[in-house]
Each structure stands twice: as C-alpha cells, then as structure tokens.
Structure 1
Amino acid sequence: MSETTTETARDEAAGASASSGTSGATIELENLTKRYPGSGEPAVDSVNMEIKAGEIVIFVGPSGCGKSTTLKMINRLIEPTSGRIRINGEDVTDIDPVKLRRKVGYAIQSSGLFPHMTVAQNIALVPKMIGWGKSRIKSRVEEMLDLVGLDPAEFHGRYPRQLSGGQQQRVGVARALAADPPVLLMDEPFGAVDPITRDHLQDELIRLQHELHKTIVFVTHDFDEAIKLGDRIAVLRERSHIAQFDTPEAILTNPADDFVSGFVGAGAALKRLNLTRVRDVEIADVPTVTIDDPLQDIFNKLRAGGTNELLLLDKRGRPYKWLRRGDLMRAKGSLARAGTLVHDTVTRDATLRDALEAVLTDNAGRVAVTGRRGEYTGVVDMETLMNSVHEMLEADRLEAVEHQHELEEQRAQLTHQAQEGDGGEGKA
C-alpha cells in the first residue's frame, strides 16, 4: 500500500471517529491559587469548583476580580502557584502545558487570528501541530467553516483583514474547535463587536452547543450575556471568591446577598426574557415573495391576500424588504425603490429579549426569524412577546405573594411560641 493510500485510510478512520464528535469533559478546580511576586494578596485565592461535562459555565464579576486569571490557569496559560486542575479526572497540573493547550480550545476577544495566515490556515493550525493528515485537515476546515455559518468556498482563502469583526470571531471559534477538544475556554470573546453582531454571535454559540455538547467556560463582565448563555453562573468577588454559583433562574429570583443583587440590578423580571428562546414561543408565518418573482405576480399576491404586507426574500431566501399595498404603485413598479428594508432578524436560539429589542427597533410590530444561513423561517410578533412578558410578571407576582404568606406564617408561629413561653413562665 502506498504512503498516500495509507494516509487516506488513516484519515478516513480518524474522521469516522471524529464525526460523532468529542463531547465535554468534567473540570475540577481544587484550592486553585495564584500569587504574583511582590503582591501582598493573591490574585486568585483557593478556588474550588466542579464543572459538569457539557455545560456552559460563566465567570462574571467586577474588573480585576481574577476571573480571566482563573480561566487561564485551566489551560495553564498562567501557571497556578498552588492547587489542582483535573479534566475528566486527570490531574493536568503536572503535564506538559503545551500539550494541554492543544487539547483545550481557546477563544479570545478580537479573535486572535494570525494576520499573515488565511482563514483555512488559521483553522488548520492546531490539527496540523498534532499531526493530522492533509486530507483530514482539509475536510475539517470545510466542516468547521460550515459549522459557524461561513461558506467554505467564499472564506477559505481570505485573510483576517478581509473579514468583518463578527466573521473574525466566528473563525476564532472555528479554530478553537478544529481539533475537537472536549473543553472550550472563552475570554470575553464577543466584547469587541457591535451589539447586533454580538447578539448574533451569542445565538451562534448557543446553536453550536446544541450540536457539540462541549464543556465551555466563558468569562464576561456583562451580566445579561451571562444570563443568556450560561447553564450556571459563577458570580465572583475579589480574588475569585465565589459569591454565588447557580443557575441563571436561581440567581435572578434568589440572589445570595447584596453583592449578587448588585449584579442582577433592576428589572429582574425583564432580565428573565433572556432565559426564554424564540424557539419556545409560537413562530407565525407571513406571505413571502422572492426578488425574482414577476412584478405582476407580486401585485396579485398583495391584492388577493388577507394581509396588508408581504416579505420580500433575496435570491438566497433571506429577508430583504417588507412590501405593503401601495408601495409598488408609489415606486412606479420598481422593487429597487419599493418597500422597507429589513434591518434586523433573530434566530430560533435568540432570546425573547433580543426579539423584543428587534421589534422595537424596527417599529413594525414583528421581527423575521431566520435559520443558520440567514434563510427565512417565520416571524415573531409583539403580541406573542408581550404575552410572554405578562406571564413572567404574573409568575413573579404569585411567587412574591406565596413568599409573603410563608413569612407571615413563620412570624405567627414565632409569636405563638413566644406567648406559650411567657405563659409557661407565669404559671411556674
């Protein structure tokens, strides 16, 4: 058998095992501590934490509290002064840190792509370093670009400077996942992009996690981002002391103390909109036409339909413009001048808060829902969103009433016990 044939066979076998994907690993931090020379206090002081396989854990806390330092000690970009790190039960504190980093994906703010390398070369970097064959690397690069929603044919040969900020971050995530690591560390990866792009990148991460089931540790200073992304959130004080480590629901409804309440802030009920996804509510449909449809057919559909508007899709089936009766007449039959551009869309993985902001921004009473390549899949309207808000507020009201009743019962019991005690003393 020739060398090329042997490599192909080996890559096909490895690819077959990789196609199922490596799921997440457990992470245990035991008394993890970092002291810098000349500093009186440790930067990170005896952190103990267990992270389950396949969950997203968010580190959130004030600037300088040690959250990024704690994250970087997991893959030993920063060496711990003392303590232990176990991944899937294996103590990684004493193994070669370079080998460890090749097994742990890492994504940072501003993507960290090498500017002199193409997109494909950036993604292929770690697989090449750990000895994958050429055919397997080529296949993996295309797979990863498709996974993060970038057309391999279009982006394969581009350089980072030719990409938007959001596209660079997608490539950064693709590179971090290329060698199929069980653990992905993300250090404020979406902090340098605009709010709309940030929302879409967050949705993309949620979608990826549904498919990949990695263990993700994510640092952010944005509590709303933590609520949206996290299965559990670790609210950290100075020196990475854990103020509360719990689900977003528990932290929103029952913050451990005033420090955590400060992070939750006002409007906890509305923040809970970040806990419900578009896929969890009713997605309606509207009549659509495409940019290639004859003008007369579009006229006829507007006249005949029971609705006052149509959604015009581009050649790829993506929302392009809203067309209303009279738009084509006023624009003298030209689609170029007719209708209102679609400014924002949401995916099924977007939160109801994202959808509500998009509806209010567009001031049109609804927002288009799209698939992974931006194709139209439906709409969510203001009525659906407001019903969800009212349901959450009513649930919060009932919970508050129930809590008040419990407090009153406890006071009554204490009063009764005190009175019985006084009566007993009097009789004595």
Structure 2
Amino acid sequence: MAETTEAGRDGHAAAVAHTSTTGATIELEHLTKRYPGSSDPAVDSVNMEIKAGELVVFVGPSGCGKSTTLKMINRLIEPTGGRIRIGGEDVTDMDPVKLRRRIGYAIQSSGLFPHMTVAQNIALVPKMVGWPKSRIRARVEEMLDLVGLDPGEFQGRYPRQLSGGQQQRVGVARALAADPPVLLMDEPFGAVDPITRDHLQDELIRLQRELHKTIVFVTHDFDEAIKLGDRIAVLRERSHIAQFDTPEAILTNPADDFVSGFVGAGAALKRLNLTRVRDVEITDYPTVTVNDRLQEIFNKLRSSGTNEILLLDKRRRPYKWLRRGDLMRAKGSLARAGTLVHDTVTRDATLRDALEAVLTDNTGRVAVTGRRGEYIGVVDMETLMNSVHELLEEDRLEAMEHQHELEDARAQQTHFEQEGPGGEAKA
C-alpha cells in the first residue's frame, strides 16, 4: 500500500516538475556594497557564476557579508558597484519590485503575514502578478501538496496555528508559488529544533530534485552546507571567496587553513552528509497497525523471527516499537505498551541523519518514511557502519596516494638539484 501511494506521489511530482520553470544562471560581476561612513566595503568586488538548476550555499563567519551578498541579488540591499545578471539579463538597473516578483525569497522564521491565512500567504505574489483566481487556487493546493502539507487541512489556518516546521514549509511554498527560476534562502531553518531542521533540509533536497530551481542558500552551519550544496562558497570577511567548490572537494582538499577551520575534525564522518538514505539498502521490517487485534500482533511477532515489531498508526506512519514483553504486559490494550518512535528519516536524508536517528531511538534501526510520513522500510546499524567503514577506507587510500605523490615530487626535486637543469651531474 505504502509503495503504491509513494509511486503515485512521485508521478505527481514528476508532472509538477515537467510543467514548472527550471532554474536560471546567476552571474555576479565585481558586486560591491559600501555603507556611508565605513572605510571598508561590506562586500568587496565579488565575482561568481552560479549554474542554472544549481544549489549553491554561502557559508562563512558571522559578519562576513554572506547575507548582504544574497540580498543584493534581489536588491533588497542595493549594490554600490558591479553587475547582476540572471538568465543572461542584466537586472542591476531593473525596477527592484518587479525583480523581486521574479525571485523567490525564504527567510528564518518563515516571514509569513500573521493576519493572512496560509492560502492567502501563498497566493500573495501570484495575485500581484495578475494570475486569475482559478489558477491561484490550484497553485495554492499544488504548493501545499508539494511541501507535504494537506491542502484541505492547512490552507484555511493562520500562521499562529502552525508549528515552526509547518510555518517554514509554508514559507517555502510561498517563495515558489509564482514559479520563479531563482530561490534565495537566508538561514531559513535556523530557528527550528534540530529534528525538524533535518526534515526540512530533506524536504528541500527532494523539492530541488523535482523542480531544478537555482537556489542560493545562506547558512553559518558547515554541516548544513555539506548536506545541501551542489557547490559551497566559503566566504571570508567582505565576502572574499576562500574556496568555491563541491562539498567533496572542500572536505578532501581544503584550499587553506581558513577553509580547514570550517571543515574541522572528522572529515570522514562529515562525508556521511554526502550519501543519501536512498543510496543504500532500505529493507522491509515486520509491521502491524493499531487496527490489528492484539492476538494478531502477537502471532505476527512470534512468526517474524525478530525480537520486536513496528506498530503503524492509522495513516501507516511509524508509531511504536513493540517487543514480546510489551505484548505480554499489554493486557488487552496497546495504549501504554511499547516504545514511541522518536525519529524517522526520509529517502533524501543523509546517512549522518540516519546514524543519529538510530542512536537516538536505540533500536538498531531507523524507519524510513515517504512524503506524508508513511512507512517505507528501515535502515539498520549494520548498513550504516558498513558505509562508514567504506568512507574511512577511501580516506585511507586517498591519504596514501597523496603521500606517494609528495614522495615522487620530492624525489624529482632531489634529482633535479643533483643533476642540474642540463641533465648533467653537478661538480
């Protein structure tokens, strides 16, 4: 049942992706911002080209100018020098209001208007650009479904009636509502709890895989940058680019000590953020539902050959882990039996997320869920540890190869010094 549902939703997602506007290139040429009374620029001559459909993350210390650089792209902050091109079009001198209607923008704490319903918040930009009401209604439902919220349940609510994670999802839906090619995100998940943040990151990865927008994302969290970015721009003060490369390249070959400081210790474990749950084996596990009779649950556990079984709620979402002793003590009711499932992961979660969830739940495995939280399968500790060992072995082999290259270079240098530039031995 869960697989059929998931396949149907994937088909819907493919249809959405097929009809949506994809990303546009962004080119920054000597982009500069000087504030009156300051001797140094806040942003100093940034040159950068971001490919269409790419998710680029700006990461750097507080006050380095990363948010200022982001806000100059949609001219919430006006540059004092340089050019901005989007899709090859110079937008530096365009009407800034019209420009912003063409660029999605999501910020920390969602930025939703509290006096507007969820539907009204999402409809805001489509209404401004003159979409007909029927198209707006359909788009609101489409966007809510896309970010994993039931339109019938959520479109009439106000922001105060939503959790922090739900507000952020609506914020992303609003930013995407007018189908912009470019989405700017300024620390959008910084104000939510860690588990919700992980799930929002997974949701963004899934959305980007479906929609192929050009996304520029600002964060101070290097682990978040590794998890999300196709490329990462590590920025020094005044937004000087220390390194602009793929997460793999930055982890394995940081440009200098400044970048190494961001990578920090445990680069091999950080590389767990580069592998997704969908890339490893997701196995099935015995499940029952809250609608099943206690005797049926006990019989299935006994015949499963496992020590525990996963109880699903009425929507087939992981609810509790049940052991034999739990059932013996249930006395006809599951209300107090078993251990609540504290965390789950989606197929877009990283192996690091999965490892943390396994350690949190203390069951040796973590349940994998679909867009509506429905059960898909599990990933166990053995699978995760095998992946860790593979990454460590890759790091060991890369280190050996690098050491051999250094030794060869030293040998060639010694030979050159002994033989001289003409190939003859020195006297």
Same fold (TM > 0.5): yes
Residue in 1 that maps onto 2:150: 151
Residue in 2 that maps onto 1:305: 304
| Mean Cα deviation higher: 347-356 or 418-427 | 418-427
Q: Tell me, what secondary structure is at the counterpart of 1:393?
A: helix
Mapped to 1, the partners of 2:235 and 2:382 lie a distance apart of: 38
Q: Which amino acid aligns with 1:147?
A: L
Mapped to 2, the partners of 1:142 and 1:100 lie a distance apart of: 25
**Alpha-carbon deviations, 1:15-73, whole Å to 9, x = none?**
x9996100000000000000000000000000000000001000000011000000000
Residue in 2 that maps onto 1:132: 131
Q: Which amino acid aligns with 2:229?
A: G
**Alpha-carbon deviations, 1:76-121, whole Å to 9, x = none?**
0000001100000000011110000000000000000000000000
Mapped to 2, the partners of 1:368 and 1:319 lie a distance apart of: 7
Q: Which amino acid aligns with 1:94?
A: D
Q: Which amino acid aligns with 2:51?
A: K
Query: Does 1:353 pair with 2:352?
Result: yes
Q: Which amino acid aligns with 1:118?
A: T
Residue in 1 that maps onto 2:91: 92
TM-aligned CA deviation for residue 425 of structure 1? 6.8
Mapped to 1, the partners of 2:250 and 2:63 lie a distance apart of: 22
Mapped to 1, the partners of 2:235 and 2:417 lie a distance apart of: 41
Residue ranges of structure 1 left out of the alignment (5+ in a row): 1-15
TM-aligned CA deviation for residue 333 of structure 1? 2.7
TM-aligned CA deviation for residue 426 of structure 1? 5.0
Residue in 2 that maps onto 1:65: 64
Question: Percent identity, aligned pairs only?
Answer: 89
**Cα-Cα RMSD:** 1.4
Where do 1:70-219 residues align within 5 Å? 70-219=69-218
Question: Are 2:419 and 2:426, in contact at CA under 8 Å, matched by a contact in 1?
Answer: no
Q: Tell me, what secondary structure is at the counterpart of 1:377?
A: strand
Residue in 2 that maps onto 1:233: 232
Residues 425 and 346 (structure 1), Cα distance of their counterparts in 2 relative to 1, 3 Å cut = closer
Residue in 1 that maps onto 2:294: 295
Query: Does 1:321 pair with 2:320?
Result: yes
Mapped to 2, the partners of 1:159 and 1:212 lie a distance apart of: 27
TM-aligned CA deviation for residue 326 of structure 1? 2.3
Mapped to 2, the partners of 1:320 and 1:199 lie a distance apart of: 19
Mapped to 2, the partners of 1:355 and 1:17 lie a distance apart of: 28
TM-aligned CA deviation for residue 421 of structure 1? 2.7
State the TM-score, normalizing by the size of structure 1: 0.94
**Alpha-carbon deviations, 1:284-311, whole Å to 9, x = none?**
1111111101222112111222222111
Task: Report the number of matched residues.
Answer: 412
State the TM-score, normalizing by the size of structure 2: 0.95
Question: Are 2:17 and 2:210, in contact at CA under 8 Å, matched by a contact in 1?
Answer: no
Residue in 1 that maps onto 2:413: 414
Residue in 2 that maps onto 1:252: 251
Mapped to 2, the partners of 1:58 and 1:316 lie a distance apart of: 36
Q: Tell me, what secondary structure is at the counterpart of 1:70?
A: helix
Residues 166 and 18 (structure 1), Cα distance of their counterparts in 2 relative to 1, 3 Å cut = closer
| 4+ runs deviating over 4 angstroms | 16-19, 422-427
Residues 265 and 158 (structure 1), Cα distance of their counterparts in 2 relative to 1, 3 Å cut = same
Mapped to 2, the partners of 1:25 and 1:397 lie a distance apart of: 39
Q: Which amino acid aligns with 2:305?
A: G
Mapped to 1, the partners of 2:308 and 2:198 lie a distance apart of: 27
Residue in 2 that maps onto 1:285: 284
Residue ranges of structure 2 left out of the alignment (5+ in a row): 1-14
